[in-house]
Amino acid sequence: MTDLGGVLVPVVVATLLSVSGAFVVARYSGPAQQAYIQALQGRLAVVEQERDDAALVIPRLEARIHELEQAVEKLEHLVGKRDREIADLYRRLDEDERRLPRPEHG
C-alpha cells in the first residue's frame, strides 16, 4: 500500500484555506463587493435570458435552413435541365449548319 499522507495533507489544508477564505470574504465583504456580485448576477440573468431566447429561435432557423436546402436542390436540378437543353440546341444547330450548302470561295 502507498502512503497517501504526502498527498492527502496538502489537499485537506488547501481545501480548508479555500473554504475559510471564501467564508471570510463573504462575511466581511464591503458594499462595493456586494454591488459587484449583484451586477454579476444581473448580467448572468441577462445572458440566461438571451440563451433562452436563442433556444426558442433555433428550431425556426433549422426549419428555414431545410426549406432553403430544398430550394437549392430544386434550382440545381433546373439548372442541370437547362444546361442539357442548351447543349441539345447547340448540337441541333451544328447539325443544321452541316446540312446547309457551303458557299465556295474563289
Summarised one tens digit per residue, pLDDT across range 30-69 is 777 778 778 888 888 988 898 888 888 999 999 999 999 9
Tally the domains of the chain. 1
Q: Which domain holds residue 76?
A: 30-98
103 assigned to some structural domain: no
Assign 106 to helix, strand or coil. Answer: coil
In one-letter notation, the amino acid at residue 5 is G
74 assigned to some structural domain: yes
55 assigned to some structural domain: yes
- Span 13-22, pLDDT tens digits: 888 888 888 7
43 assigned to some structural domain: yes
**pLDDT number for residue 94:** 92
85 assigned to some structural domain: yes
104 assigned to some structural domain: no
Assign 8 to helix, strand or coil. Answer: helix
